[in-house]
Structure formats: structure tokens, C-alpha cells
Amino acid sequence: MSLLFIFIFGLIIGSFLNCLVWRLYKEESLLGRSYCPHCRQLINWYDNVPILSFILLRGRCRHCRKKISWQYPALEFITGLLFVLAFIKNLGGWATFSGFGPLDLMLQINSNHFYLSLIRDYFIIAVMLIVLIYDLRWYLISNLIIVPAALVIFGLNLFLGFSWYSSLLFAIISSSFFLLQFIITKRRGIGEGDIWLGFLLGLIFPQLSLWWLMIVVAYLLGSLVGLILMTSGRKKWSSKLPLGVFLAAATIFVLLYGQVIVSRYLAWLA
């Protein structure tokens, strides 16, 4: 029951993210009502229900019958799913969750640390989904996203007990890692936006083990997708793949499963 509620909450946030990505790009106010990008007709609330409206309208605008991008329901569904996964992770994983009685669940949920950690995860997932869509569509990482996100995560880190200097120092080191690649590759393959994103990623993972895992996952994912696109002839060697997309996807993955992977790896080593 609680999981269904969280999934619906995620759908609503996902719908908001769709709107946010579009308006950030168009530099429009967040307050106005949504409209169809083809016929500019305002969208009624009943045509704006996450996923349901898309199915009922069969993916077309009610007024001009032009196609609505599949990206809208996809982002809504993915946000809903990720919010559920993050909730389960914060309760100590699926094994703990399924073994919980209602009282255990209440006790766990009533701690401040649980809420702060969950809010931090939800915020990071939302920001990374925006970065991913934005970079995929327009090959750009906007500082309108990175700067406010960095401030919020820095604040949440303080509340969660990370010291301000280690948080900041790690963010600078993380940013320098991308700056170094930017200089070495002479701006090829890596953009200025990735340096700013690097700063944010340092704040998100102020532990070396998780940060490294995120980097490894991102570059592996990038190489794999690059290889698939190349062998299927869809992209040439020279055409660039946006790095931000893979960094954002790896960040969400490591946020959800990094701790488990690192502790299993350490146990395996010992």
C-alpha cells in the first residue's frame, strides 16, 4: 500500500520534471499552464494526468492530433519506479523490507535520519533525470540546474553529519578530475558542463569508494553503448556521445546499489 502511494508520488514528480526540463530550455516561467508545443493550445488538467492521459489520448494531442513524445510517460514511469526503489533502499533493502511488520516499519520511518536520507535520494534522482534528459536532447548541462542543486545537496550533507570542509574538498577534487580530462583531450569528448557536473557529483558521493564506483560504471556504460551504436552503424567514431547522460545514469545506480556492491566487494576481498 505504501509502495503504491510512493509510486504515484513519483509519477507526479516525474510529470513535474517533464515540465521543468522543457521550461528550463525555453527559459519560460514555471507558473504558467502547460500547452501543446504544436498547436499551443492549453492542456486541461484531465489531459495532464501522468501516464493515464497518454494512454487515453493514444499519445496524441486532443486538439491538433499531433504525436506527444513517448519521453513524457517514460520519464513519469521511471521516476515512480526509482522513488519506490529508493524508499526500499532507505529501509535497508528488500530483504529487510519484506521481513518488516507494520510496527518495525513505523519505527524506522519515524527517525529523522530516515527522512533526510530519503529526501536527499529523491532530490538527487530528480536532478540526475533532468541532467540526463537535457544532455541527451540538447548536448548541454545547464548551470541553472547544477548551481541550485549543489547548494541544496551541500545543505543536506551538513544535516546528515558530513563536515563542510570534507564535502567541499571532495567536490573540488571530483571537479578537477573532469577539468584534467578537459585539458588533456583538448575539449574533445568532455564539455565544460561536465566539470560543473563533476563538482555536484563530489557533493553527492563524499566517499571515495562510491565516487570511484560511479566513475567506473559511467565509463563502462558509455563504452558499451558507444560500441553497440557503432556496430549497429547508427553512430560513427567521430560523433560524440554526451558524457553527462552516463554520469547521471551511473549516479542513480550507485545511489541505489553502491553501498551494497562496495560492502560485498570488501567482504569478498577479506
Footprint of Zn ion (CB under 5 A):
36, 38-39, 61, 63-64
Minimal distance, residue 77 CB to Zn ion, in Å = 23
Pick 41 or 223: Cβ nearer Zn ion: 41
Minimal distance, residue 33 CB to Zn ion, in Å = 14
Pick 38 or 188: Cβ nearer Zn ion: 38
The Cα-based distances of 72 to 16, 130, 244 in angstroms read 10, 12, 20
Pick 8 or 64: Cβ nearer Zn ion: 64
Minimal distance, residue 60 CB to Zn ion, in Å = 8
Helix 208-231 vs helix 192-204: crossing angle, to nearest 10: 140
Minimal distance, residue 125 CB to Zn ion, in Å = 30
The Cα-based distances of 65 to 37, 61, 75, 198 in angstroms read 12, 5, 22, 42
Pick 64 or 183: Cβ nearer Zn ion: 64
Pick 42 or 151: Cβ nearer Zn ion: 42
Pick 63 or 137: Cβ nearer Zn ion: 63
- Amino acid code (one letter) for 112: N
Minimal distance, residue 136 CB to Zn ion, in Å = 24
Minimal distance, residue 53 CB to Zn ion, in Å = 13
